A and B are shown apart, each in its own frame.
Chain A
């Protein structure tokens, strides 16, 4: 069974930093691209960042480019999102998801809540 378990969310002040993790199990993690998607309160889904199988290629939404960094450790089956210079508008539930070529995000974690507030 595919399992994705996010952690690291919490309350942080504007301008602060937070590091999210996603522990993957039940599938060969090193053979799948991975994605972070967020959902602000009462809003729809917003893609945040993606990373290739090897980790060599990373992509970001314009809204987080230069502030967030996605990474992965295939030896530990872990996906991370380092979030710096956080803003109120970054407040959201952050989901990690597995991306399958030509099929989309076929497995989702349960999400972790990030609240940016003073």
Chain B
């Protein structure tokens, strides 16, 4: 089954941009992934799906400040013009018929 690898933490300043990476394990680089945001004390929130081509489709109501990109095994989530409410954990997800897999999550601190 696939494995998703994420950095454990990141930090960036208010108004700047930050880019997260989610890396798919060998043999799974063509898989679609999804990105989720989890603010402190809240349930996860779906941000987007992201294909291997870099094409992405965002969920309903997701800000234009969020975008996806990537190629091969590396998939990225970029947040531009960082706001305080963006401070959260960010998880990537992928799946096969009989399983779902989440990355370990990246904790974003907004300075």
Contacts and interface: CB of A to CB of B under 8 A. Distances in A.
Interface residues on A, range: 20 to 34
B49 interface: yes
- Of A35, A50, A104, chain B has the most CB atoms within 10 Å of the CB of A104
Interface stretch (B11-19, B38-46, B68-76, B80-88): B38-46
A105 interface: yes
Interface of B: 32-34, 36, 38, 43-46, 49, 57, 59, 89, 91, 93-95, 97-105
- Please classify the interface of chain A as helix (H, G, I), strand (E, B), loop, or mixed, using the class held by over half of its residues: strand
Contacts of A47: 99-102
Contacts of A50: 98-100
Given A102-B32, A103-B32, A108 B45 contact: yes
A37 B49 contact: no
B105 A104 contact: no
B95 A99 contact: yes
Contact of A45 (B44, B45, B95, B98): B44
B43 A45 contact: no
A105 B43 contact: no
A95 B97 CA distance: 20
8 closest cross-chain pairs (CB), A and B? A104-B34, A47-B100, A45-B102, A103-B49, A59-B98, A44-B105, A106-B46, A108-B43
B28 to A, nearest CB: 15
A35 B38 CA distance: 17
Contacts, number: 66
Contacts of B95: 99, 104
A106 B59 contact: yes
A107 B34 CA distance: 12
12 contacts: A35-B100, A44-B104, A45-B93, A45-B105, A46-B102, A50-B99, A59-B97, A95-B43, A102-B49, A104-B94, A106-B34, A106-B46
Contacts of A45: 36, 38, 44, 91, 93, 102, 105
A103 B95 CA distance: 10
A110 interface: yes
